[in-house]
């Protein structure tokens, strides 16, 4: 049976968001067990929310897409905070912190570019 693809799955920003989700799942496995229902859970939910909102909003009306993109941006900023907390608590190294932040900055730029593209379409 042939794989069914949806239009948003070809978006580079969506694929980059999924890569970030993979990184968060991998990195949070090293967090202390007492963080499972605190930082770990929040970080995983926020990272998933970026990709989920891109997928949910893409292909909708312009105002609806912009709403979902705004939510994705909020989740992205939440991930910045989770990354910072993880680094300050020494759950992740400086290198991991920098890599995660770089990925988030890339996603943010790509998402802004997509938003600008959607806004410019007639």
pLDDT digits (tens, 9 = 90+) for 43-99: 999 999 999 999 999 989 999 999 999 999 999 999 999 999 999 999 999 999 999
Q: What percent of the chain has pLDDT over 90?
A: 97
The pLDDT of residue 122 is 66
User: In the prediction, which pLDDT does 22 show?
Assistant: 98
| CATH number of the domain where residue 25 is located | 1.20.1440.60
Residue 3 belongs to some domain of the structure: no
How many structural domains compose the chain?
Answer: 1
Per-residue model confidence (pLDDT) at position 26? 98
Mean pLDDT of 18-42: 97
Q: What is the rounded CA–CA span in Å between residue 85 and residue 41?
A: 13
pTM of this structure: 0.95
Cα gap 88→76, rounded to integer Å: 18
For residue 1, being part of any structural domain is answered with: no
């Amino acid at each position: 049976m042939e794989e069914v693809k949806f239009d948003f799955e070809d978006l580079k920003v969506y694929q980059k968001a999924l890569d970030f989700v993979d990184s968060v799942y991998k990195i949070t496995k090293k967090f202390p067990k007492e963080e499972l229902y605190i930082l770990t859970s929040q970080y995983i939910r926020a990272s998933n929310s970026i990709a989920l909102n891109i997928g949910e909003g893409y292909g909708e009306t312009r105002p609806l897409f912009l709403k979902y993109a705004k939510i994705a941006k909020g989740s992205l900023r939440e991930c910045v905070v989770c990354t910072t907390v993880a680094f300050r608590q020494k759950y992740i190294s400086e290198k991991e912190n920098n890599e995660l932040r770089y990925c988030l900055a890339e996603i943010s730029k790509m998402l802004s570019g997509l938003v600008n593209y959607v806004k410019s379409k007639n």
